[in-house]
Amino acid sequence: MSHYSGSVPDTEPARAWLVKTPCKADPDAMFATSTAGIEAAKDVCRSCSAVESCLQWALETGEEHGVWGGLSDKERRALRSRPIRPISIDDYTGTPRTSRQGLSFQEIWDGGTLADGEHLLWVGPKVIYRRGEQQVTPNRLAFYLDRGHWPEGDTKRTCGVAGCVRPAHLNDRTERDEEADLAVAV
Ligand code: SF4
Ligand 1 contacts CB of residue 128 (under 6 A): no
Task: Look at residue 1 in the predicted model and tell me its pLDDT.
Answer: 33
Task: Look at residue 2 in the predicted model and tell me its pLDDT.
Answer: 37
Rounded Cα gap, residues 66 and 27, in angstroms: 10
Rounding to the nearest 10 degrees, give the CA dihedral for residues 112, 127, 170, 148.
-80
| Domain termination residue (choose one: 58, 93, 128) | 93
**pLDDT tens column, 104-150:** 677 778 778 888 888 888 887 777 765 555 677 889 889 888 888 88
Task: Look at residue 12 in the predicted model and tell me its pLDDT.
Answer: 37
Domains identified in the chain, total number? 2
CA of 106 to the centre of ligand 1 (A): 29
Ligand 1 contacts CB of residue 23 (under 6 A): yes
Ligand 1 contacts CB of residue 161 (under 6 A): no
The reply to whether 73 falls in a domain is yes
CA of 49 to the centre of ligand 1 (A): 8
Specify whether the CB–CB gap between 21 and 50 falls below 8 A: yes
Atom of ligand 1 nearest to the CA of 58: 4
Residues 126, 75 within the same domain: no
- The DSSP 8-state label assigned to residue 150 in this structure reads P
Task: Look at residue 91 in the predicted model and tell me its pLDDT.
Answer: 42
Ligand 1 contacts CB of residue 163 (under 6 A): no
Where in the sequence is the domain holding 52, given as residue range(s)? 12-93
The reply to whether 5 falls in a domain is no
- Please tell me the residue having the least CA distance from ligand 1 atom 3: 68
Residues 110, 85 within the same domain: no
| Domain termination residue (choose one: 43, 58, 93) | 93
Rounded Cα gap, residues 69 and 48, in angstroms: 9
The reply to whether 1 falls in a domain is no
- With a cut of 50, which residues of the chain have pLDDT below it? 1-2, 4-15, 84-101
Specify whether the CB–CB gap between 106 and 90 falls below 8 A: no
pTM: 0.47
134-136 and 156-157 as β-strands: parallel, antiparallel, unpaired?
Answer: unpaired
Specify whether the CB–CB gap between 64 and 73 falls below 8 A: yes
Task: Look at residue 83 in the predicted model and tell me its pLDDT.
Answer: 53
| Domain termination residue (choose one: 93, 117, 143) | 93
The reply to whether 82 falls in a domain is yes
